[in-house]
Amino acid sequence: MEDAHISSDLVRVILTEDQINQRLAEIAAQIDEEYRDKDVLLVGVLTGAVMVMADLSRAMTIHCSMDWMAISSYGSGTQSSGVVRILKDLNTDISGRHVLVVEDIIDTGLTLSYLVSNLRSREPASVEIMTMFRKPEAAENAVDVKWVGFDLPNEFVVGYGLDYAGKYRNLTSVATLAPHVYS
Ligand SMILES: O=P(O)(O)OC[C@H]1O[C@H](OP(=O)(O)OP(=O)(O)O)[C@H](O)[C@@H]1O
Ligand code: HPA
């Protein structure tokens, strides 16, 4: 029977829970300022953004609404399939609304470039992006991101919403996985 504790599968912690919380507080203060006089709709991208949406929204002190989309490009592995699909659309009509997309990670940037052009076609008052993590390759699919928590090295990481094969999302830090996990 494999060890049920997540920690036995980790090699290196890249970001601690404290670092994540501190950065979230800084970003939440900037978002408060930006949307002080606007009715902002936070759009979380399922499933990975659940953690950042919950923590960011509670670090904010202004009113906000929330909605969710599910988009898939990764299947169950570590490589983007390159094909982006909407699995669940918004419940909200965003025409004339100020939309802030909340993401866990921008890796290739494919998911967000598709999502942002899709949202813009619905004629919102504005669309901005907040992502907790960003990988170097994101620069290739130019998406204009207003708030980035952390720039990460180009390796596969898990935790704080990020999964491998559906697991590790509930890790409170961000870490790399041991080779035995992939074999
Ligand atoms: O910039 P990209 O290369 O497109 O990658 C980023 C996307 O990949 C992950 O989603 P995934 O499709 O794995 O779904 P999940 O959130 O349910 O894990 C992540 O949550 C982003 O939405
Ligand atoms: O490094 C990653 N980890 C988990 N999910 C991801 N989706 C894109 N990049 C990653």
pLDDT at 14 over 80: yes
DSSP string, 56-119: HHHH--S-EEEEEEEEES-TTSSS--S--EEEE--SS--TT-EEEEEEEEESSSHHHHHHHHHH
Q: Does 104 sit in the ligand 1 pocket, CB within 6 Å? A: yes
Q: What is the pTM of this model?
A: 0.93
* Ligand closest in space to the Cα of 68: 1
| Residue range(s) defining the domain that contains residue 65 | 18-154
Q: Residue 172 domain-assigned?
A: no
**Ligand 1 closest atom vs CA 73:** 12
Predicted pLDDT at 117 = 92
Q: Is residue 177 part of a domain?
A: no
Domain with 24 in it: what CATH number? 3.40.50.2020
pLDDT band at 145; cut points 50, 70, 90: very high
The candidate with the shortest Cα–Cα distance to 162, out of 140, 131, 136, is 131
Q: Which residues of 116-130 are buried (b: 16+ CB within 10 A; e: fewer)?
A: beebeeeebeebbbb
pLDDT greater at residue 71 or residue 1: 71
Q: Is residue 170 part of a domain?
A: no
Q: What is the pLDDT of residues 85-124, one digit of tens each?
A: 899 999 999 999 999 999 999 988 888 989 999 999 999 9
| Residue 161 belongs to some domain of the structure | no
Judge whether 41 lies within some domain: yes
Nearest to 157 by CA among 106, 114, 110: 106
**pLDDT tens-place string over residues 32-78:** 999 999 999 999 999 999 999 999 999 999 999 999 999 977 655 66
Structural domain contains residue 83: yes
pLDDT at residue number 50: 98
